[in-house]
Amino acid sequence: MKVKGISYRTIWPSADGKVDIIDQTRLPHEFAIMRLENMRDAERAIREMHVRGAPLIGVTGAYGVALSMQHHASDAALKASCDLLVKARPTAVNLRWAVERMRSLLSSLPEGERAHAAWNEAQRIADEDVEINASIGRHGLGIIGNTHREKGSTVNILTHCNAGWLATVDWGTALAPVYAAFDAGIPLHVWVDETRPRNQGASLTAWELAQHGVPHTVIVDNAGGHLMQHGRVDMVIVGADRVTATGDVCNKIGTYLKALAAYDNGVPFYVAMPSPTLDDTMSDGIMEIPIEERGEEEVCYMSGLCDDGEIRRMRITPLGSPAANHAFDVTPARLVTGLITEHGVVAADPNAIRERILERR
């Protein structure tokens, strides 16, 4: 996607054999590139959320393995790097998927071939992500196009968190259909949940939609139900960090409440899911998916651009009030209208997931 007319991916190999990323902790007020010199930089970038979003942290994990193989390609070094990277964030299964793919390929090769093969494989995973998301965009375009034909006017789509191109290598998952429909000339408008506490909607989704010229409005996290009751949301499209073999969807905290409101108001609730986000080892999302709990300072403090042009951080809770910060929640499959995947729109039920996705792996 383009930033001020220049095409970017969110992560790319630098000319001198390192890895560059867009530093997402600096957006929306500053567009900054950050260099990952080694595997520890990659692990820190994931843990501290300089990169975030399930597909992108998977690709960063793969590049992290590749960076480590440039220095030490022994079995012990491979194990140590993979074990460290996979723990950087617990909920998005894409990280484990990508790191284990790297581990499995590299452990079958002699040490001398690992550095080169690791680099190529990380690049392949990145390129595949772009292809998958483009395909999700094409399938989602069909849904938005049908709604536009039935409704005859602007399609209003609500999204939560950031599942746009910043959360992937390019295109995004939930926003890929939005970009495809917008580029096809379908009139649309996106309601952007701010997504407390880290504000990925307000800071990242709003920024990338604005870069592409897509009409959008930022709303507070609690506004979605009200808008749905008044017929102002035609569909919800969100991303996912992990989807079970039964179709339970784990995504950013607050997604479940949007799904409940959508269900109560008869609004279709779609989940854009690239196949690496499917975890076929799990069947009960609520009981089995590990939910990341982050530090309370993310809830107690906010930061932003002040009127004097300085970015400052300020406390919004009383000193001494404890805060809890559960980063994700699980939406049961029964609330999901469909999974928009690279293989088409798939029902969130075990049989459809097995036939349409798992048997094609």
Q: Taking the CA of residue 348 as centre, how many other CA atoms within 13 Å lie in the half-sphere pointing to its CB?
A: 27
The DSSP line for 107-136 is: HTS-HHHHHHHHHHHHHHHHHHHHHHHHHH
Stretch of residues binding ligand MRU (CB under 6 A), selected from 47-55, 97-105, 179-187, 283-291: 47-55
Tell me: does residue 129 bind ligand MRU (CB under 6 A). no
Cis omega before residue 177 (within 30°)? no
Q: Does residue 53 bind ligand MRU (CB under 6 A)?
A: yes
Does 41 bind ligand MRU (CB under 6 A)? Our answer is no
Q: Are the CB atoms for 10 and 169 separated by under 8 Å?
A: yes
Name 144's bridge partners.
none
One-letter amino acid of 131:
E
Instruction: Between 57 and 102, name the residue whose CB sits nearer to ligand MRU.
Output: 57
**328-331 and 249-252: which strand pairing?**
antiparallel
Q: Which of 234, 241, 279, 329 is catalytic?
A: 241
Residue 163 is a binding residue for ligand MRU (CB under 6 A): yes
Is residue 241 annotated as a catalytic residue, yes or no?
yes
Q: Give the binding range for ligand MRU (CB under 6 A) out of 6-14, 58-66, 237-245, 353-361.
A: 237-245
Instruction: List the x/- string, 82-111, binding to ligand MRU by CB under 6 A.
Output: ----------x-------------------
Q: Which is nearer to ligand MRU, 81 or 251 (CB)?
A: 251
Binding part of the chain for ligand MRU, among 8-16, 32-40, 239-247, 299-307 by CB under 6 A, reads 239-247
Among 47, 70, 52, which Cα is nearest to 252's?
Answer: 52
Q: Which of 54, 69, 98, 299 binds ligand MRU (CB under 6 A)?
A: 54
Report how far apart, in Å, the C-alpha atoms of 202 and of each of 28, 44, 153, 302, 339 are. Answer: 9, 24, 26, 12, 25
User: Where does this chain bind ligand MRU (CB under 6 A)?
Assistant: 52-55, 92, 161, 163, 167-168, 172-173, 200, 239-241, 251-252, 327
Give the residue numbers annotated as catalytic, written as ranges: 241
